[in-house]
Amino acid sequence: MASQVEQAMQNITTAQMKAVAKEEGVTADYVRDMVAQGKVVIPNNTVRKCSAVGIGKGLRTKINASIGTSTDIADMGLEVEKARVAETCGADTLMDLSVGGDIKKIRREVLKAINLPVGTVPLYQAFAQSIEKYGNPVDMPEEMLFDVIEEQCADGISFMAIHCGINRLTIERLRRQGYRYGGLVSKGGAYMVAWMMHNNRENPLFEKFDRVAEILKKYDCVLSLGNGFRAGAIHDSSDRCQIQELIINCELSELGRKAGCQMMVEGPGHIPIDEIEANIIMQKRMSNEAPFYVLGPITTDVAPGYDHITAAIGASLSSAYGADFICYVTPSEHLALPDAHDVREGVMAAKIAAHIGDMIKYKNRERDRQMSLARRGLDWKKQFELAITGERPNEIRASRMPSDEGSCTMCGEFCATKIVTKYFEEDIERGEKKVDGKAV
């Protein structure tokens, strides 16, 4: 069966393209053309039905929630709960990054539990299996990588972060610059570097990239080019090895698309806010506007426990500058495995950031205007309907209800809106007529 890219190139509009167009308020022809050009992807494995999500140019910034076990905490029930919380809170996609317990069973239970497109990092399972079977990840036979990729595609995984851009050249860049302040923080990237250096071999995923793309194309699974050299510290941002990997990934994204595989590029990790725009410009220029999957980005190193906030700051700017896909960060980043509460907080912070960015990127602030009018009119029901989530503000208000239900306990009888709005009723009516008449 032809992939979405191949069908789009033949001017065929798929059911997924039509569904994305309806959700986004654009034409199906637009979605098809962007898929054909590699500027939009639709993670939708042919063996599993899931919600149609479009990621890329001209579409709403999407957010991903990551879950997964560790070698310390491997509770399948907890991971399923976290997956459901992420879906309920409005995540667009989910990634299962499990490295502990029965990785295959956990993945399959998560796939059954939700309707979102699900992604993975197949290197995690491959290296975990190598440790279990051979006692050491560096003893992994390269064929295991391709077996795991095929297995996960066959399970119904819709997108995969695969570290194809790590090669001898990027490692040499890392050596020449004197390593890093924060070291390597990508688990998949670090294991692959260790494997390459121990075995004095090239990365099989780079060396046999055409084979990787062919497997994913068979299932119409999106290949997200992982950034194993992303910065894990502000002082490592935009260094030579990170940019070298970005260059390689942008080249590979073009090769993969020409082979009929849907492609994304990832970046950049920890980064100060004054470098975000430059990173996005570079990725978009070098990849011919392939969708950019931004991890965070975390904008300061000194806020453990609040990294969902540092990431939301970075994500809002990333979205505004043109990033297409945001991977959330939870409050437990750098500290512990996230629980269900952390997942909820991470999703909400990322959703707010994406909305802020899209207000700038697409110059659409109508929802915020409607919220302003609802606040001026003290229409609490309408405010909760317009909110990114109505649940939290409803809970807060209900816990501290005022004596006058029209106001709130922040101001009580000193409610500025109630005091003065009545004197401007004629002006408000005149203004509303202008808006309705388009004379604004």
SS (H, E, C) 323-389: CCEEECCCCCCCCCCCCHHHHHHHHHHHHHHHHHHHHHHCCCCHHHHHHHHHHHCCCHHHHHHHCCC
What are the φ/ψ torsions at residue 264 (nearest 5 degrees)? -130, 160
Q: How far apart are CA 382 and CA 187, in angstroms?
A: 45
Task: List the domain range (segments joined by +) for residue 317.
Answer: 61-361
Q: Is residue 45 part of a domain?
A: no
Q: Is residue 345 part of a domain?
A: yes
Could you tell me if residue 265 is inside a domain? yes
DSSP tag of 269: B
Q: Flag whether 40 is in a domain.
A: no
What is the structure's pLDDT at 432? 72
* pLDDT for res 346: 98
Same-domain pairing of 230 and 333: yes
pLDDT of residue 60: 98
> What single-letter DSSP state applies at residue 42?
-
Q: How many structural domains compose the chain?
A: 2
The half-sphere exposure of 53 on its side-chain side, counting CA atoms within 13 A, is 28
Give the predicted TM-score (pTM) of the model: 0.95
Stretches where the chain sits below pLDDT 50 are 437, 439-440
207 and 117 within one domain: yes
The answer on 157 and 116 residing in a single domain is: yes
- 299 and 216, same structural domain? yes
pLDDT at 440 (0 to 100):
44
Cα gap 21→242, rounded to integer Å? 35
CA nearest neighbour of 219 among 260, 166, 189: 260
Same domain, 244 and 304: yes
Q: Which one-letter amino acid corresponds to residue 370?
A: Q
Q: What angle do CA 383, 318, 52 make, to 5 degrees?
A: 70
> How far is CA 429 from its chain centroid?
43
Would you call the peptide bond into 393 cis, given omega within 30 degrees of 0 as the criterion? no
